[in-house]
Amino acid sequence: MSHQARKRFGQNFLIDDQIVNRIVATISPKKNDNIVEIGPGKGALTFPLLEHLEHLSVIEIDRDLISLLKSKKQEKLIIYEADALKFDYGVISNNLRIVGNLPYNISSPLLFRLLSEKNQIIDMIFMLQKEVVDRIVAKHGSKTYGRLSVMMQTFFEVESMFTVPKESFDPKPKIESAILYLKTRAKPLTENTKLLEKIVKVSFSQRRKTLKNCLKSILNQEQTEIDLSQRAEMLSVENFITLMKDYEKQN
Ligand code: SAM
């Protein structure tokens, strides 16, 4: 069955066996792992992964690709026809390992969605736009450090594994990709995701202004030990947690 790649579903299919092998080696699947693949597509990663596993769950939104996967009749494959953004991950299991060559158009909202499921997740290995991976792993003081870096690093240990050239896909995307590894922290730096999100969002609302300026309606210098004459990008993840706790004390 032939399949026309759909732009609206961010479809760029992996066609490079070497890269597939490297991704599978990075995932390092163990027989009884509860792996969930988001966006299996035509199965470029799915079938090599299945060779190592007792079972594999996949979530795919495109009906035609669902039919294609079903036609391969793999008993170990559990197929969910669903939108990964709205999917209830609780129906699968705890101790999830989530993997996928993610549709680029939904990568940030999907990462935030999975952040809210972090207690069920052991780790995640994703292919993303290299630019997004660089932002997630960025250290404070760098230009790419921002909201996504702070939020992801608070709850996960993050590592950029390797880059993937455009030629490894069909159709060929305009941008480079990279593999990101996220391991859920055993002890997260905070449990208050919502409040941290609020503080981080306001802090980075005007990147070129000082924190004093960005936070003026919610926190002043007398209320925190963090130096507010700095810009948000200078604050480490731990500094943001302190800022959030100082805000909490006032409210
Ligand atoms: N894993 C395949 C590969 O590497 O060749 C396909 C990767 S392709 C970049 C992204 C896949 O995610 C497509 O199969 C697409 O249909 C699927 N997809 C897009 N949006 C989705 C969503 N909201 N929920 C689940 N799957 C989605």
**Among 7, 62, 132, residue to substitute to test ligand 1 (most atoms within 8 Å of Cβ):** 62
> Per-residue pLDDT averaged across 35-48, rounded?
97
User: For 159-215, how does the pLDDT look when each residue is reduced to its tens digit (9 = 90+)?
Assistant: 999 999 999 999 999 999 999 999 999 999 999 999 999 999 999 999 999 999 999
> Per-residue pLDDT averaged across 71-87, rounded?
94
Fold adopted by 7-184:
Rossmann fold (3.40.50)
Is there an atom of ligand 1 within 6 Å of 17 CB?
no
**pTM of the predicted model as reported, rounded to 2 decimal places:** 0.95
Is there an atom of ligand 1 within 6 Å of 219 CB?
no
Is there an atom of ligand 1 within 6 Å of 214 CB?
no
Residue 217, Cβ neighbours under 10 Å: how many? 7
Is there an atom of ligand 1 within 6 Å of 69 CB?
no
User: For 108-149, how does the pLDDT look when each residue is reduced to its tens digit (9 = 90+)?
Assistant: 999 999 999 999 999 999 999 999 999 999 999 999 999 999
185 vs 158: CA distance, rounded Å: 10
User: For 15-27, how does the pLDDT look when each residue is reduced to its tens digit (9 = 90+)?
Assistant: 999 999 999 999 9
The confidence score (pLDDT) of residue 7 equals 86
Q: Please state the domain extents for the chain.
A: 7-184, 193-250
Joined tokens for residue 237: 């993840």
**pLDDT score of 2 more than 80:** no
**Based on C-alpha coordinates, what's the Rg of the chain?**
20
147, 152, 158, 160: CA torsion to nearest 10: -50
Was domain 193-250 assigned CATH 1.10.8.100?
Answer: yes
Matching CATH topology for 7-184 and 193-250?
no
The confidence score (pLDDT) of residue 1 equals 57
- Give residue 41 CA to ligand 1 midpoint distance, Å: 5
